[in-house]
Amino acid sequence: MIDNPLIETRALTKEYADLRGGPVTALDGLSFTVHAGEVFGLLGPNGAGKTTALRILSTVLQPTAGTARVAGFDCLTQPARVRHQIGFMSANTAVYDRMTAWEMVAYFGRLYGMEEEPLRARMELLFDRLQMQNIRDTLGAKMSTGMKQKVSIARAIVHDPPVLIFDEATSGLDVLVARALLDTVAELRDQGKCVVFSTHIMPEAERLCDRLAIMHEGKILAAGTLDALYQQYGPGNLEDIFFTLIRQGGRAYPRPHLGAASHSEGGTGPRPTPLVASKLESTS
């Protein structure tokens, strides 16, 4: 299991042009590996670079430097093959308003190249397991947030991919739905999937992740299993470790020009660099 990581990033760097402050480094030499059967947590404040990193893994963005490989395929040169191997779900991946739950999942199943019969069987299984039979014929526009989240999960795992990427997937969900989602993720890990899970909510990370990386300003400040982190930084909880690390990092949280303000929040304070902010944050 240790020998063949399903996800491997090496010195991943992403820069954006910015008229005011010159180029902004959103990711600064990010390296990590994730294996099958584990949940790897990316923990960090808004604007730490989590979404950028995961978008590069999902091939939606291209890295400025460094490499990212998923299941042996290069994210830059073999993006279509990478996308076959992953299920990606984030707060930004919405469901279609004018499609029913069944149509939506079937559409993506077909895009993943599944044949009609296996697709049908798989969808019946998924709709049962995720308790979605009652919203089978509901249009996306008429679904609650929880229903949409279920459809998104079904959409992401319909082709049974070895790698799953959840980017701030619990944001905006109530406790019940968030709990159900975390249970699903744990179940997927138990099935042997390789899961990357980004969040800024500490208890979630503590509950779910086998290994963690604490990110800030595009860099990994510390990484390892929870136990290892406790050993290294002293007992307590993750939040304490997090604040210790960020203080050591030498900057106050949050970084002013990459602050939490965004279109979804309409935050106050200095306006974030728009291009970067939209790419870096996805949380509300």
**Segment contacting other proteins by CB under 8 A, of 17-25, 39-47, 119-127, 205-213:** 17-25
User: Does residue 136 touch other proteins according to CB under 8 A?
Assistant: no
Binding-site residue total for other proteins (CB under 8 A)? Answer: 45
198 binds other proteins (CB under 8 A): no
Taking CB under 8 A as the rule, does residue 80 contact other proteins? yes
Least separation in angstroms between CB 268 and other proteins: 18
Identified binder of other proteins from the candidate list 25, 29, 76, 219, rule CB under 8 A: 76
Residue whose CB is less far from other proteins, 6 or 61: 61
51: CB partners within 8 A, 6+ apart: 90, 92, 167, 168, 198, 279, 280, 281, 282
How far apart are CB 219 and other proteins at their closest, in Å? 21
- Candidates 12-20, 172-180, 191-199, 221-229: pick the segment binding other proteins (CB under 8 A): 12-20
The interface with other proteins within residues 232-271 (CB under 8 A) comprises 263
**Runs of H (alpha helix) within the chain:** 50-57, 79-85, 101-111, 116-129, 145-157, 175-190, 202-208, 226-233, 238-248, 274-280
- For the chain, how far is it from start to end, CA to CA, in angstroms? 36
Is residue 82 within 8 Å of 75, Cβ to Cβ?
A: yes
| Residue 42 host element (H or E) | strand 39-43
Label each residue of 221-234 as H, E or C.
Answer: EEEEEHHHHHHHHC
* Binding-site string for other proteins from residue 148 to residue 187, where x marks contact by CB under 8 A and - marks none: ----x--x--------------------------------
